[in-house]
Amino acid sequence: MKEFWLAVKRYFRRLDKPLILLCAAALAFSVTILYSEMVAGFITKRQLLVQLFAGCLGLAVMIAMVFISYRFLSKLWFLHLPVTLGLVLATFVLPEPFVYKPDGSDDVAWLRFGSFTLQPSELLKISFILTFALHLSKVRDQMHKPLQVLLLCIHGAIPCLLIYKQGDMGSALVFFFIFLCMIFTAGLQWRYVLGGVAAIAAAVPIVWFSDSFHDYLQRRILVLADIENSTLAEAYQQQVGQKILGSGEVFGKGLFSDDLNYVFAIHNDFILAHIGQTLGFVGCTFVVVLLVAICVKVLLTARMSTDPLGCYICTGVFAMFFFQFLINVGMVLCLVPVIGITMPFISYGGTSMVASFAAMGLVMSVYSFNKKRIS
């Protein structure tokens, strides 16, 4: 019996308890907000239960990953990468009953199996972080060689282009930001950074006028110049969302007020608008501080990592969360165009919720399998 309690004690010592509490708080906040939306008639009871189930499953996965070394997971790329990449490729070849586009969505990026739905790009983010971190750790001493930099760029371009081809520009940008943060952390020389900036600047007008860049995306960007006075349909969602966000003023109307207003995608892309009208500026500040705290905790784990692989993994997870959080807030505040990026941990989405907890599980694994601690 004494050995059992010693084993339990050792296990709890390996847990990053502040990170678990922060993620659990985010899950509880998400379920509370979505319950408010269900009462208001914005979502169904089934959607609320999906979020709760996905959150509990994700939390269990996160805690279980304490026992699995991140080094071992990265070496299993030949197992998880074909699965996640294969699911993404399946969206291009499977017939319509299995591949679908939700109402109001711009991209065909979901798989459906009966009543079960899946967004493969969310799972691919985890595989990409692991495989790219492994790639970087193997060539970190050769980052000055053009061939190695080219191979790293090809590695990063494959998921970006695949997801963009699906029509999901938001997720493609998430992959691109993960790539940038990880390769910069690995010590990419400034000559390559400046060359990349020049290449992107040259590519922007080419992409803008290409057939692959849809007209509605151009209009969504152009309306930001004067969104308050715009009469284009692409501006309507952000105009309404901004009004709903500010309607709660400082303390909000209350979670179960009879005076709650609706905007399209209020349960995912525009969930911040609902937080604003129900809990006001105080509620919005709380969720911002909560998610920033999670991001900071991930960076601290990256700092204490004893090897580059762990540092790169944590950097990738940070990039994924921070970019999604930043763009989601920017969409509601009319600072960036609507590109379909949800708020991590808070917005509705079963696959997104499980993937978010799995990403934090990688951070937990880095924390657990590193002996060095932040002084």
Question: What are the two backbone dihedrals, phi and then psi, of residue 110, each rounded to the nearest 5 degrees?
Answer: -120, 145
Tell me the three state secondary structure of residue 112: strand
Asked if the structure places residue 374 within a domain, the reply is no
Where is average pLDDT lowest: 106-120, 188-202, 263-277, 283-297?
106-120
Asked if the structure places residue 25 within a domain, the reply is yes
Spatial strand order of the sheet with 99-100 comes to: 99-100, 110-113, 116-118
Asked if the structure places residue 158 within a domain, the reply is yes
CA dihedral of 357, 280, 299, 344, whole degrees rounded to 10: 30
Asked if the structure places residue 6 within a domain, the reply is no
Residue 283 sits in which domain range? 15-368
**How large is the average pLDDT for residues 161-171?**
88
- Are 256 and 283 contacting, i.e. CB atoms less than 8 angstroms apart? no
User: Could you tell me the CA-to-CA distances from 264 to 105, 328, 331 in Å, in that order?
Assistant: 11, 14, 13
> Is the pLDDT at 341 greater than 80, yes or no?
yes
**How large is the average pLDDT for residues 112-119?**
82
- pLDDT, mean over the chain: 89
Asked if the structure places residue 2 within a domain, the reply is no
pLDDT tens across 206-253, in order? 888 887 787 878 888 888 877 877 777 778 888 899 999 999 999 999
Location of structure tokens 């762990």: 310
> Is the pLDDT at 375 greater than 60, yes or no?
no
**How large is the average pLDDT for residues 130-147?**
92
Q: Return all residues near 31 (Cβ < 8 A) that are at least 6 apart.
A: 48, 51, 52, 55
Asked if the structure places residue 373 within a domain, the reply is no
pTM for the structure as a whole: 0.93
What pLDDT score was predicted for residue 373? 46
**How large is the average pLDDT for residues 189-217?**
84
Confidence of residue 117 (pLDDT cuts 50, 70, 90): confident
Asked if the structure places residue 7 within a domain, the reply is no
Reference 12, options 1, 23, 2, 4; nearest CA is 4
Tally of structural domains, the chain: 1
What pLDDT score was predicted for residue 230? 72
What pLDDT score was predicted for residue 374? 41
Q: End-to-end distance of the chain based on CA atoms, in angstroms?
A: 34
What pLDDT score was predicted for residue 324? 95
- Are 302 and 315 contacting, i.e. CB atoms less than 8 angstroms apart? yes
Asked if the structure places residue 1 within a domain, the reply is no
- Are 143 and 186 contacting, i.e. CB atoms less than 8 angstroms apart? yes
Cβ burial, residue 289 (10 Å; 0-12/13-18/19+):
exposed
pLDDT tens across 8-66, in order? 566 567 778 899 999 999 999 999 999 999 999 999 999 999 999 999 999 999 988 88
